[in-house]
């Protein structure tokens, strides 16, 4: 079983194919298996690496809260690249993984060819942060008390029922995979990675300076993520934004064909030098005439 370790915690990964490497980072409610439809597509001409975050078997599931955290998740992802001797990779993340992908692009730009952040930034919009953190802590406590993940409740949330409507079998598989995960890993991840991660808006200067080509992806029914992705698009000079109509949080499962196609087109543009930086306006512009100098 392919493993690496960091600070005594074993981290599982799988790799398939050859070519430009892609590192996939999963969301809270998923794991390395969530990327199957993407791996099957991109492994034709890429080296695809999927990981299971700490707390997600076959990776270790530490019982100590101090073994979890957003900075730890970032370091774990980079450790997998180091173990595989990959100097630079495309980093693709969904939700929790999207947050990590953005932070890696910001903090380790020399390691990132391009970044894709799908359904990222829950809780980062100013008016949402306290609610997001509170919900994560409350759910963590519930999971520890009950000894299981409330998979039915979670899978029927307002940004995940879209998958049930479009693909009932896929939704049931998503729910069942989540239900089978250990309660300890889920609770610790909620309490330390989700509830305690800082808002992306606190990194405005760093994102303005980030030159990594970035594709932001969000569903128009994913209310918690829309505003922060529009903000990121405005702030990041090398970012583009794609919004999927009638789509919730689980973009890669809801619309796998379009999801894969958008990323493939993005990577073609990056590889061909056709993903430009946005020119910043030097004056005021109301949407009618040329920008006026202040």
What are the phi and psi torsion angles at 148 (to 5°)? -160, 160
Coil, helix or strand at residue 23? strand
Q: What percent of the chain has pLDDT over 90?
A: 92
At residue 286, the pLDDT reads 67
**pLDDT exceeds cutoff 90 at 279:** no
What is the residue whose two structure tokens read 């994913």?
A: 222
Q: What percent of the chain has pLDDT over 70?
A: 95
At residue 127, the pLDDT reads 86
CB atoms within 10 A of CB 155: 21
Q: Each residue of 108-166: pLDDT tens digit?
A: 999 999 999 999 999 999 888 999 999 999 999 999 999 999 999 999 999 999 999 99
Structural domains of the chain, with CATH: 3-126+200-271 (3.40.50.1820)
pTM over 0.85, yes/no: yes
Greatest Cα-to-Cα distance within the chain, rounded to the nearest angstrom: 61
Mean pLDDT value across residues 183-187: 97
Strands 20-25 and 46-52: parallel
């Amino acid at each position: 079983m392919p493993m690496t370790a960091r600070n005594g915690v074993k981290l599982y990964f799988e790799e398939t194919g050859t070519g430009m490497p892609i590192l996939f980072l999963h969301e809270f409610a998923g794991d390395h298996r969530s990327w199957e439809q993407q791996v099957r597509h991109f492994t034709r001409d890429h080296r695809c690496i999927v990981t299971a975050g700490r707390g997600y078997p076959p990776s270790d599931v530490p019982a100590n809260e101090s073994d979890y955290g957003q900075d730890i998740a970032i370091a774990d992802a980079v450790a997998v690249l180091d173990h595989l001797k990959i100097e630079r990779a495309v980093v693709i993340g969904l939700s929790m993984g999207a947050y990590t992908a953005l932070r890696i692009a910001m903090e380790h730009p020399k390691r990132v060819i391009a970044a894709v952040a799908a359904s990222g930034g829950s809780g980062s919009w100013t008016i949402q942060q306290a609610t997001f953190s509170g919900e994560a802590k409350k759910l963590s406590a519930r999971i520890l008390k009950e000894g299981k993940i409330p998979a039915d409740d979670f899978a029927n949330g307002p940004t995940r029922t879209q998958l049930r409507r479009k693909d009932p079998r896929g939704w049931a598989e998503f729910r069942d995979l989540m239900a089978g995960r250990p309660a300890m890993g889920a609770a610790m991840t909620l309490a330390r990675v989700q509830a305690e991660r800082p808002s992306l808006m606190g990194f405005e200067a760093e994102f303005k300076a980030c030159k990594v080509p970035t594709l932001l992806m969000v569903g128009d029914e994913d209310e918690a993520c829309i505003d922060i992705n529009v903000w990121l698009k405005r702030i990041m000079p090398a970012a583009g934004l794609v919004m999927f109509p009638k789509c919730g949080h689980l973009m890669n499962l809801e619309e796998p064909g379009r999801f894969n196609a958008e990323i493939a087109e993005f990577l073609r543009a990056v590889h061909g030098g056709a993903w430009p930086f946005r020119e910043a306006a030097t004056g005021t512009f109301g949407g009618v005439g040329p920008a006026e100098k202040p």
